[in-house]
Amino acid sequence: MKSVVPLLFAPVIVALATKRAPISPDTLSSQISLDYLLEGTQKLQEFAYSYPQRNRVFGGAAHNDTLNYIYNELLQTGAYDLHRQPQVHTWTTGNQSLTVNGDTIDALSMVHSPSTNVTAELAITPRLGCSPSDYDSSAVGKVLLTRRGGCSFASKSILAASANAAGLIIYNNVAGRLRGTLGNPNDPSSPFAPTIGISLLDGQRLLRSITPNATSSNTTTATPSLRLTLYIHTESAPRLTYNVIAQTKDGDPTNIIAVGSHTDSVDAGPGINDNGSGTISSLALARALALTTSNTSFPLRHAVRFLFFTAEEFGLRGSTYYLHSLSATDRAHIRLYLNFDMIASPNYAYMIYDGDGSSFNVSAPTGSGHIEKTFQGYFESQNVSYQAAEFIRRSDYRAFMRHGIPVGGLFTGSDKVKTQHEAEVFGGRMGVPYDPHYHGPGDTVGNLSPEAFLMNARAAAFAVASYARDLDGIPVRNVSRVVREGFGDKRGGGQGVVVAL
């Protein structure tokens, strides 16, 4: 709703606006230092290494240390209204093995996969295994092989379970191992098949080893001599965790710039690029914003809300929970969302999410193209090349997209391989993943690119300051529209359980 200022007070407000220039994007970005970024990520690594697990999985001791550190750093500024948002989500871990004719294939069970220990024939699905028509009666009792892409891992697993398959193997569509999550483990209407991921190379080897015997127009069965043993042992438990939410005390609270990053890691390592880089960049930005706006010559016109999400690596749980917890009015007050996840990859490319859909033809809410152009403007001002990143909905922006909130952000790449063209533009090594230690024990401070880290953190500050002073180009979101949108696609699932800390 548009606020009306009584005429009596209008001259006073005009006079104040004349005296107090809005926050400068260049001033704020210049306050971000590499020293703070590296010190912060070193602190996160120390938290992980203080415990035998050497990770920062949500609900664990090192992740709790991370959240307490973020909270205390923000509290010291005195500039934010702080809130811990408790929730309970299912933590799971697993051991797995895959053997084919006695040979072991490197495999990783999907997060939330059911357990199994089965020896069965191997069959392949046509296309990508994203439609019920890709499965028929010949899939019963077999372990199915399909390629990554086309739909979510969860969708493939649910379809395989519906076909009474004994298990599902998903092989990567890019070089490298495949680790993923099946999303919500608490939906009894959508049971999963035991599911693992393997590399592109191993998937291609399995395909080449198959002599097709077409048993139907759909599922193709391997020769009976090609049998495999799939073993998955999964342990799970509910874990208490929380999001940390910090909103500026200044600025219009009905026009909010939301800034988000996830704070947790996978089981395999400390998660310093994924996503210590985004976490500490957001924290550095929040501290710089507090320092800059403490000078009364740089007020905020619009409020800034920092969102430190939990349990992203277990199915985007924290961000999904957060959006579901808001009323329609509260969601309408969020004018845009900026996402920072993996922004210091060692073999990086500077990537800006494709808000206008011109590169990947993926629709994003109106206003997302403006965010993309804002980031492009910053990189161009620094004479730095960039390229578009696709919205593949594997980070916390997904929940905001589903509610029609304009989204944008930065990314330096994960497990996909850098092309020759990208190596020519950005440097680095072609044929090597952007982050060779993605979701692994080597994702440490030594895995970071300091150059990319600083550039992206300053770009983030530039964008936040730009929108904190001017939201032209970002459509106003009215409550009636948000109510019609509802929760959108619920496949992310589940709101967790609220409990007191």
Neighbours of 324 (CB within 10 A): 16
Exposure string over 418-451, b if 16+ CB within 10 A, otherwise e: beeebbeebebeeeebbbbbbbbebbbbebbbee
Neighbours of 364 (CB within 10 A): 24
Distance of CA 267 to the CA centre of its chain: 16
Q: Regarding beta strands 80-100 and 213-214, do their DSSP bridges make them parallel or antiparallel, or are they unpaired?
A: unpaired
The whole-angstrom separation of Cα 247 and Cα 303 is 7
Q: Which residues contact 210 (CB under 8 A, 6 or more apart)?
A: 122, 124, 220, 222, 223, 226
Taking Cα atoms as reference points, which of 350, 372, 346 lies closest to residue 359? 372
| CA trace torsion 479, 462, 401, 148 (10° rounding) | 180
Q: Which residues contact 14 (CB under 8 A, 6 or more apart)?
A: none
In this structure, which amino acid lies at residue 84? Answer: R
The whole-angstrom separation of Cα 367 and Cα 371 is 7
**Active-site residue, selected from the candidate residues 73, 121, 312, 313:** 312
Q: What is the DSSP string of 51-101?
A: STT-S--TTSHHHHHHHHHHHHHHHHH--EEEEEEEEEEEEEEEEEEEEET
Residues in the chain, how many?
501
The whole-angstrom separation of Cα 191 and Cα 268 is 26
Q: Tell whether the torsion through CA atoms of 338, 36, 418 and 171 is positive or negative.
A: negative
Per the CB < 8 A criterion, the answer to whether 98 and 321 are in contact is no
Instruction: Reply yes or no on whether 312 is catalytic.
Output: yes
Taking Cα atoms as reference points, which of 364, 332, 366, 370 lies closest to residue 470? 370
Q: Which residues are catalytic?
A: 312
